[in-house]
Amino acid sequence: MQHKRLRDFLRDPVVRVVLTVLAMFVGLALLAPYLAPADPLTLNMRNRFQPPSTQHWLGTDEVGRDVLSRLLFGAQISLSVGFISTGIGFGIGGALGLLAAYFRRLDDVIMRLMDILLAIPTVLLAIAIIAALGPGLYNLMIAVGLGSVPSFARLMRSSAIRLTGIEYVDAARALGARDLSVLWRAVLPNALPPVLIYATLSLGSAILSAAILNFLGLGLDPTVPEWGAMAAAGRNYLRQAPHITFVPSVTIFIVVLCLNLLGDKLRDYLDPRSK
């Protein structure tokens, strides 16, 4: 039954297209140093605002850098920020949610703290954190990651709390297993599916949030090739060279769309009732 559903999932045409596109982006990111036709940082003021052509497939930007090369190197940054910050949110939020569900004495403390952070909209929370930490790649990852901690914590708690009264968890306890071992072996694997779906969806949001922070000029140095920062750089030249803004914007759109579609399909697969 499990195998048949997994096969159906992988045979779904939408899943196939989405996974292919995402794999392609990951491949392009990894191979960026070999595939990029030009150096993403080299300025060439005589070559500014070139529209897409055979020489520069996606044109050049406001200081004459090759947009395709910047896009490829940008994939490395945007995807790694997406993965690592989702990992931070998933790790910290998941652990807090699990502890809150299992140790009832911690529940109130942790969840009231999360309620307070949830009172601040996610993007604003990330903005507030990066305002405090200052710009930089790691701070960007931390800000976006911490911004998603409350949602992960809340979801993991609600998913895990259903399991705390269930027989196999009680049985593990009665057999003398230690709390951490019960949490790790009995509660976590069964509480994970909805949190994994959320993680897929939140990968898209993390890429978006990072792009927004960079667009606002709060994340990375503007010379670093990152999709949001690239879109922001073209903003003042929208009339004469719209491709500088639209190429990275459309790329973000495609990647986030694929991740959202994958999350939707994963939900149908792991929780057929939601279909």
Contacting range for other proteins; rule: CB under 8 A; set: 17-25, 166-174, 185-193, 254-262: 254-262
Among 39, 115, 170, 179, which residue sits at the site for other proteins (rule: CB under 8 A)? 115
Nearer to other proteins, 75 or 169 (CB): 75
Structure tokens at 197: 């779906």
Nearer to other proteins, 86 or 245 (CB): 245
The answer to the question of residue 120 lying near other proteins (CB under 8 A) is: yes
The answer to the question of residue 9 lying near other proteins (CB under 8 A) is: no
Q: Where are the alpha helices (DSSP H) in the chain?
A: 2-11, 13-30, 32-35, 67-88, 94-102, 104-118, 122-133, 137-161, 167-174, 179-182, 188-215, 227-233, 243-270
Residues 55-114 that bind other proteins (CB under 8 A): 112-113
Among 93, 145, 150, 204, which residue sits at the site for other proteins (rule: CB under 8 A)? 204
Contact 207, 259 (CB under 8 A): yes
Residues 125-164 that bind other proteins (CB under 8 A): 127-129, 131-134
The answer to the question of residue 242 lying near other proteins (CB under 8 A) is: yes
Contacting range for other proteins; rule: CB under 8 A; set: 34-42, 47-55, 156-164, 251-259: 251-259
Q: Torsion angle, CA of 92/89/20/61, rounded to 10 degrees?
A: -140
The beta-carbon contacts of 21-28 under 8 Å, at least 24 apart in sequence, are 21/254, 21/255, 21/258, 22/255, 22/258, 22/259, 22/262, 25/75, 25/79, 25/255, 26/79, 28/72, 28/75
> Which positions touch other proteins (CB under 8 A)?
112-113, 115-117, 119-124, 127-129, 131-134, 204, 208, 211-212, 215-218, 228, 231-232, 235, 238-239, 242, 245-246, 249-250, 252-253, 256-257, 260-261
